[in-house]
């Protein structure tokens, strides 16, 4: 694959590829939040509920992308996207329960970093979007992701404020 040099023009991405890329990203993000919801459930149910709610927001964004693809009569996104629900073997392999404050802080730091990356991804998608309907969706997604980052920052601040147990 040729290297991209600074100032080089990116090739335009067809609308169906842009939709597919956004769909795949949201699907992976949804799986990430669902896994975190399960991880936090035993010891921090309030954080688990936050992660579940963020996963539901991803699911709603996926639905909006699929509705747009249908409206534009583009190929079916589900046919080309990875499975929405990981297999049980994948869940067990990647799943880890949060058992102490240190793990909670580390998991929340990682979740916040992933959330910032997701917002940046959506901003880049919007910047190079050639489809007005998708651009409008991406603008909404960016606002949702900014709010998610804020909520995760609050959860992280609360986790660090927890006094150490004797």
CATH number at residue 130: 1.20.1260.10
User: Quick one: average pLDDT of 22-39?
Assistant: 95
Q: Is the pTM of this model over 0.85?
A: no
pLDDT in tens, 45-70: 999 999 999 999 999 999 999 999 99
CA distance 31 to 163: 31
What is the extent of the structural domain holding 145? 15-161
Whether residue 6 lies inside any domain: the answer is no
Percent of the chain with pLDDT over 90: 65
Contact 126, 135 (CB under 8 A): yes
The alpha carbon torsion through 101, 105, 108, 110 (nearest 10 deg) reads -130
Whether residue 1 lies inside any domain: the answer is no
Please state the domain count of the chain: 1
Contact 118, 26 (CB under 8 A): no
Could you tell me the two tokens for 129?
């979007």
Whether residue 102 lies inside any domain: the answer is yes
Contact 18, 131 (CB under 8 A): yes
Place of tokens 């010891």: 43
């Amino acid at each position: 694959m040729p290297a991209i040099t600074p100032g080089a023009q990116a090739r335009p991405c067809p609308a169906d590829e842009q939709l597919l890329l956004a769909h795949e990203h949201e699907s992976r993000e949804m799986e990430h939040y669902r896994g975190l919801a399960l991880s936090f459930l035993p010891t921090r149910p309030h954080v688990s509920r936050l992660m579940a709610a963020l996963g539901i927001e991803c699911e709603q964004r996926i639905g909006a992308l699929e509705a747009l693809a249908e409206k534009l009569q583009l190929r079916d996104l589900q046919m080309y996207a990875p499975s929405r629900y990981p297999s049980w073997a994948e869940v067990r392999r990647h799943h880890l329960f949060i058992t102490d404050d240190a793990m909670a802080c580390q998991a929340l730091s990682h979740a916040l970093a992933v959330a910032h990356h997701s917002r940046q991804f959506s901003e880049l998608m919007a910047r190079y979007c050639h489809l007005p309907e998708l651009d409008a969706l991406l603008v909404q997604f960016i606002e949702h992701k900014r709010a998610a980052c804020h909520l995760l920052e609050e959860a992280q601040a609360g986790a660090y404020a927890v006094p150490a147990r004797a």
